[in-house]
Amino acid sequence: MYSRITGTGSYLPQKVLTNHDLERMVDTSHDWIVSRTGIEERHIAADDESTSDLALHASRRAIEAAGIDPQQIDLIIVGTTTPDRMFPSTACLLQDKLGIKSGGPAFDIQAVCSGFVYALSTADQFIRGGQSKCALVVGAETMSRIVDWTDRNTCVLFGDGAGAVILQASETEGIISTHLHADGGYKDLLAVEGGGCGVNRAGTPHMVMDGTAVFKFAVGVLDSIVEETLSANGMQKSDIDWLVPHQANVRIIQATAKKLGLPMERVVLTVNAHGNTSAASIPLALDTAVREGKIKRGETILMEGVGGGFTWGSVLLRW
C-alpha cells in the first residue's frame, strides 16, 4: 500500500506588500532584496484572517481538486509555526471549519520551515500503517504576525499563505521515501524566544535570525539530504524530474539545483512572488506548478525543506 497525492490547493491573502512598500518602512531597497533573496513581493493576511482561515481556503481547493467528500478525511495534519491559539491546535480548528465529523485525529506539527515535509512524512506513515485512508495535509502560516516590521534583517524575507494536499491510500506508487532530521544544537540561529510557556515567555515575541549562519547551514544540510534521498532509493540525479524546494531564498534553491544537476526550468520557483511562507511554501509551490500544468503524472518530484530547530527533510514521490 502506498500513499499518493490526489489533489492540491493553495491560498494567498489579497494584500500584496512589494519591496517598494518596504523601502518606505525600513532602510532597504528593492535591488538589495532581489539580489540577495530573489523576493519581489509577498502576501500579508488581513487583520481578520488567521492561519486556520488561510488553511481553510487552501483545503477546500485541494478537496475539490481530489474530488472527494470532506467527510472521507480521516486525518488532518497542519504544519504551522504561527497557530491561531496556544490550543486547540490549528488542525482541530480547521476540522471544525470544514465541518468534518469523521472523528479522525487532527494535530499540528511544529518544524518551522520544514513543517510541510514533516507533516507529509507523518501522514504517509499513517497511511502505510493502515491507520488512515484519506489525509488532509496542510502548511499554513501568518509569518507577518511574528516578524518585527522594524528589523530589515528579517522583515523583507517572509510572507503569509497556505497550501494543502489530499493524500490517499493507493495501490499506485506515490510517496517513495521520506527523510527527516533535526539538530536542536542550532536552536538559537533562528528563533522566537518569547510568547511561549518557558522562563523566557516575556522575551521578544518576534523572530531573531543569524542570516549568514542560516544560509550556510541550509545549503550544507540540503546538499546532504539530496545525497541521502538518492542513495536510499538507488537513484541517479538524472532520475529527478522536478525539484519543489522550500522557498526561502533563490540562492539557496540554486545551490540545491546545482547539486542535483537540474536546470532552473525544472525547479518550481515561487519565492519571487510569495517570499518565505515557512511551512506553506512547498505546498504553495506544488499547487502553483500543478495548476500551471507543469508537473505531469509519472514524473519524479523531490521536495526538500530546512527551518528553525534546526530541522530539515525531504520527500521523494512519483506524481
What is the binding site for ligand ACO (CB under 6 A)? 28, 32-33, 36-37, 113, 152-153, 156-157, 190, 209, 211-212, 214-215, 218, 246, 248-249, 276, 306-307
Nearest to ligand ACO of 15, 36 (CB atom): 36
Q: Give the other-Cβ count within 10 Å of 77's Cβ.
A: 27
Options 113, 134, 206, 249, the catalytic residue:
113
Q: How many residues does the chain have?
A: 319
Closest contact distance (angstroms) between CB of 195 and ligand ACO is 18
Min dist CB 61 to ligand ACO, Å, is 24
- Per DSSP, the three-state class of 255 is helix
Radius of gyration of the chain (CA): 18
The three cell numbers of residue 202 are 516575556
- Within 10 angstroms of residue 46's Cβ, the number of other Cβ atoms is 11
Active site residue 19: no
The residue annotated as part of the active site, out of 57, 246, 249, 274, is 246
- CA neighbor of 267 nearest in space, from 294, 291, 287: 294
Query: Which three cell numbers, joined as nine digits, stand for 59?
Result: 483545503
Quote the least distance from Cβ 69 to ligand ACO, whole Å: 36
* Distance of alpha carbon 124 from alpha carbon 219, whole angstroms: 26
Distance CA(243)–CA(106), nearest Å, equals 29
Cβ distance to ligand ACO smaller for residue 302 or 306: 306
> Cβ-closest residue to ligand ACO?
211
Q: Which amino acid is at 165?
A: V
Nearer to ligand ACO among residue 65 and residue 162 (C-beta): 162
Which of 168/278 has CB closer to ligand ACO?
Answer: 278
Report in angstroms how near the CB of residue 33 gets to ligand ACO at its nearest. 6
Active site residue ranges: 113, 246, 276
